[in-house]
Amino acid sequence: MNGAESLLATLAANGVDVCFANPGTSEMHFIAALDRVAGVRCVLGLAESVATGAADGYYRMARRPAATLLHLGPGLGNGIANLHNAGKARSGIVNIVGDHALAHRRFESPLRSDVEAIAAPVSHWLKTSASSLEVARDGAQALAATRDGALGRIATLILPADTAWGPGGEPVLAPPPNVPAAPQASAVRAAANVLTELGSRAVLLLGASGVGERAREAAAAIAARTGCRLLAEFYNARMPGGRGRVRVDRLPYGVEAAVEKLAGAERLVLAGAAEPIAFFAYPGKPSELKPPGCRTLVLAEARDDVPAALEALRDELGATAARVTAPDRSFDIEALRNAGALSADVVGDVLAALLPENAIVVDEAVSSGRAFGPCFAAAAPHDWLAVMGGAIGFGLPAALGAALGAPGRPVLALEGDGSAMYTPQALWSIAREGLPVLAVIFANRAYRILQGELNGMGAAVGGPKAAAMLRLDQPSIDWVALARGLGVPGGRAQTAGDLVREVERGFASGGPYLIEVVL
């Protein structure tokens, strides 16, 4: 057993069953080990951003880390954006990066780079294996480092080529991760007092595992009992939604709207959420969204057992279940089929109406997707995965990973055309693995979000050169041709009738499908 085999066996022994790889020469022994060590399915991405984004999506559904396999500093570089997103989503990943053999690293070869320095900004844990005999132990340490209570972490293990090809040790079991902290009685009592005293002048803000079903049911009971306002963060790594589930409004994305939503709040009670901060800074607008003078009370940190904390608070208050679900609403698919022109509402309704039971929605629609919330509240029950670090190019890779992390569940990937162009390579991997992913591309032929941001920034000029930088026409991207080129069939929708037909076709196919929605 060589070092690579000992690492692969360690991964398998600890329950890592998928590796998203874009390997190079220095990773060849790891690749060769795939035929000698059972238990890890290796999924090829044609760009590293596919591998790292897929690992993020995988973790969110499987609740256990996947491994990645990247090639030296530049390969890692290509994966950084989605590692950033995964880190912000608190997804656990064993991020394996090959490097030159230890003795070769001192030479100025073309691919020499400081892999550790490139990895550090996106790694919670980082180590370079120093010997093939230690690779298994290092792998087990990396695995242990992917968990911090309820949160995942990015553990980067750098694997010099000779630590892969030299003699390996025995596989090593990782120590059990620390469990999420139980509710703190003092925090629960303090929250009960604040919410009881302030009522609607308090906001209970949910984040991380606080947006799950159990947590939301407890939170709804708390709100019904105390009259406090209940909100979730705007972006959530995984948020259950749809019919019959407790509805929780999200804090809006826009600074003005968020400030207005929090107006009058004297206290924020955080349950897995962070202090609410504007996504970007804008001239003359605040970074902090809560009102001046509003204080914060932490019921539970994101790494803690947030659902248990909310249930403890509910019990402390003597509250009983209060299911505030979305208003009953049914879709008239025949009316939608004849709705004619595509508006955001019509698109949202069609997608929500046709969403299969237990689907996973990956949301990177950016500007086009903002209006979909109310539509999907009435859709079949589903999980909603948002890009958490703001780095676009997450969606299609995450759809790949989510489909592998929750086998059999259909995946709907909502993509802006601008967003999807960062990582179209993921379509090929989705085709190769034959996954039930329906990718819907909102083709507004623009960085529409930036057209708004240009104004929001007070940078408005409307000159032709600036405008040209935000337009994706000339040429317009033919998404159906592009997808076919990558092995994914698809169709185009210009009317509501087209969209109904294509969405039905896509979900019915049971395999990959892409729809270009012309807006």
Site for a second copy in 151-210 (CB under 8 A): 161-162, 165
Stretch that binds a second copy, among 196-204, 270-278, 294-302, 341-349 (CB under 8 A): 270-278
Sole binder of a second copy in the list 6, 10, 14, 49 (CB under 8 A) = 49
Contact predicate 306/150, CB 8 Å: yes
- Residues 423-462 touching a second copy, rule: CB under 8 A, are 424-425, 428, 431-432, 449-450, 453-454, 456-461
Residue 206 Cβ vs a second copy, minimum distance, rounded to whole Å: 17
Q: How far is CA 439 from the centre of its chain?
A: 16
CA nearest to 243, candidates 426, 91, 96, 376: 376
Stretch that binds a second copy, among 60-68, 180-188, 273-281, 306-314 (CB under 8 A): 273-281
Radius of gyration over alpha carbons of the chain, in Å? 24
Residue 416 Cβ vs a second copy, minimum distance, rounded to whole Å: 12
**By CB under 8 A, is residue 125 in contact with a second copy?**
no
Three-state helix/strand/coil letters over 266-280: CEEEEEECCCCECCC
Stretch that binds a second copy, among 66-74, 141-149, 261-269, 495-503 (CB under 8 A): 66-74
CA nearest to 35, candidates 10, 58, 4, 64: 4
**By CB under 8 A, is residue 80 in contact with a second copy?**
yes
CA nearest to 145, candidates 117, 175, 179, 106: 175
- Residues 81-110 touching a second copy, rule: CB under 8 A, are 81, 83-85, 88, 100-101, 103-104, 107-110
- Kindly tell me which of 176 and 284 has the beta carbon lying closer to a second copy: 284
Burial of 271 from C-beta contacts in 10 A (0-12 / 13-18 / 19+):
buried
**By CB under 8 A, is residue 409 in contact with a second copy?**
no
**By CB under 8 A, is residue 322 in contact with a second copy?**
no
Residue 121 Cβ vs a second copy, minimum distance, rounded to whole Å: 4
Binding mask 209-248 for a second copy (x = CB under 8 A): --------------------------x-------------
Q: Identify whether 121 is preceded by a cis peptide bond (ω within 30 of 0).
A: no
Sole binder of a second copy in the list 133, 190, 371, 470 (CB under 8 A) = 470
Give, for 161, the enclosing helix (H) or strand (E). Answer: helix 161-165
**By CB under 8 A, is residue 74 in contact with a second copy?**
yes
Residue 324 per-residue DSSP state: -
Q: Could you give the strand order of the β-sheet that contains 382-386, starting from the edge strand earlier in sequence?
A: 239-241, 382-386, 359-364, 411-416, 437-443, 513-518, 490-493
**By CB under 8 A, is residue 384 in contact with a second copy?**
no
